[in-house]
Chains A and B, each alone.
Chain A
Amino acid sequence: MSHRRQTGSAAVWSLMLFTTLALFATTLYAIFVVAPVEQRMGIVQKIFYFHVPSAYAMYIGFGASAVGSAGYLLKRDPKWDALGVAGAEVGTLFCLIVLLTGPLWARKAWGVWWTWDPRLTTTLLAGMVFAAYLALRSLGDAGEVEKRFAAGLALFGLVDLPLIHYSVQRWRGVHPTVITGKGGGLESEMYWALGLSFVAFTGLAALLIWARASVERQRDETARLKLELMHR
């Protein structure tokens, strides 16, 4: 039964992997061939098609971490803790991508690498909260107290996610709001490229969380076996 389940999981994993790779290839074609160059910013605006979906993948990662942490605090099941760790790592990876690609675009669009705009600041804050989570979990084999404290930290970080999302609507700043704002929006080819990129990044985030969580479950199993050997 377990073997059949493993084979099924491997098949789903492979299917997701090939679908995501095909989606990325199509997305790159849509970005660089189909979508037009933006009139005012020029070619640098094409960073947008990876920058925004990366921010969305960051939400998925941090959201998964918060869900896993809440589950662990309620049930003390290592599977939930593995989801918490995997989500935090994947979310931090995409947060780093957002915080590095954003300034490259801003340099051209705003003339500066960084400005303390509400959306930029709240995104940096989320990255720092989950970096603290990962730093706490990387201090050797995490005990029960460290795991619970880190879970609380992930839930604290979750509070920042709506702040990031609504910061462009509630507070004054310079960050563009072409998708959710009341401006002119995007041209139809741009929407297609962005939509495909969103789907591709969703698949990628899910795959990475899955892979990282399975490794974390194996590490839990290793820790359990070590404990068993010590008590023999």
Chain B
Amino acid sequence: MRALIAAFVLGFTMLVAPMALAEDPPSEPGAATSDVPKDAAEERATQFVGVRGPDTESVPGGALLLAAYAIVWVLLFLFLMRIRGLQRHTAEELERLSAEIRASGSR
């Protein structure tokens, strides 16, 4: 009798336990949450959608163009100033050294 009861309990456990442990199937998106109030976590964005059509981000092309041409002219001007500065400094140095050499030669 005990063996019969043990076999019954074991058989029942083996039949019922998998069903009890099984998870619910995933519900359709939006169906389960439609009647439940959302909290902050559930309101986070879950997808990003690209903008189509004319409603795109506006970038000021004119300002970028102006900045690009200004950069070109400013850099060229600075480089020319650098060359001019170097030229002036070197010419002065050459003049000074030449004078020193002439002076040392006449001694």
A interface list, Cβ under 8 A from B: 41-44, 46-47, 50-51, 54, 89-90, 93, 96-97, 100-101, 104-105, 107-108, 111, 204, 208, 211-212, 215, 218-219, 221-222, 225-226, 228-229, 232
Closest partner residue, chain B, to A232 (CB atom):
B104
B64 partner, pick from A47, A212, A225, beta carbons under 8 A: A47
Is there contact, CB below 8 Å, between A107 and B64?
A: yes
Q: Is the CB of A105 within 8 A of B68?
A: yes
In the complex, are the beta carbons of A43 and B90 less than 8 A apart?
no
State whether A47 touches B65 (Cβ < 8 A).
yes
Q: Which residues of B contact A44 (CB under 8 A)?
A: 59, 61-62, 64-65
A108–B86 Cα gap in the complex (Å)?
Answer: 39
B64-107: CB near A (< 8 Å → 1, else 0) gives: 11011101100110010001001100110110011011001000
* B24 CB-CB contact with A under 8 Å: no
User: Do B61 and A43 touch (CB < 8 A)?
Assistant: yes
Q: Let me know if A51 and B68 touch, CB within 8 A.
A: yes
Kindly identify which residue among A51, A93, A107, A215 contacts B90, using a CB–CB cutoff of 8 Å: A215
Q: Are A97 and B71 in contact (CB under 8 A)?
A: yes
Q: Report A-chain residues with C-beta under 8 Å of the C-beta of B79.
A: 89-90, 93, 208
Say yes or no for B35: interface residue by CB 8 A criterion.
Answer: no
Say whether chain B's binding surface is mostly helix, strand, loop, or mixed.
helix
* Residue B43 interfacial (CB < 8 Å): no
Chain B's nearest CB lies how many Å from the CB of A18?
16
B72 near A219 with CB under 8 A, answer no
Bound-state CA distance A151–B97 (Å) is 29
Which B residues fall within an 8 A CB radius of A? 57, 59, 61-62, 64-65, 67-69, 71-72, 75-76, 79, 83, 86-87, 90-91, 93-94, 97-98, 100-101, 104
Q: For the complex, what is the distance from the CA of A111 to the CA of B79, rounded to whole Å? A: 31
A225 to B98, CA, bound (A): 8
**Residue of B whose beta carbon sits closest to that of A211:** B83
For this complex, 15 residue pairs linking A to B, each with C-beta atoms less than 8 Å apart, are: A42-B61, A44-B61, A47-B64, A47-B65, A93-B76, A97-B75, A104-B65, A104-B67, A211-B87, A215-B86, A215-B87, A218-B91, A219-B90, A221-B94, A225-B94
Q: Complex Cα distance A107/B64, Å?
A: 8
Question: In the complex, are the beta carbons of A50 and B83 less than 8 A apart?
Answer: no
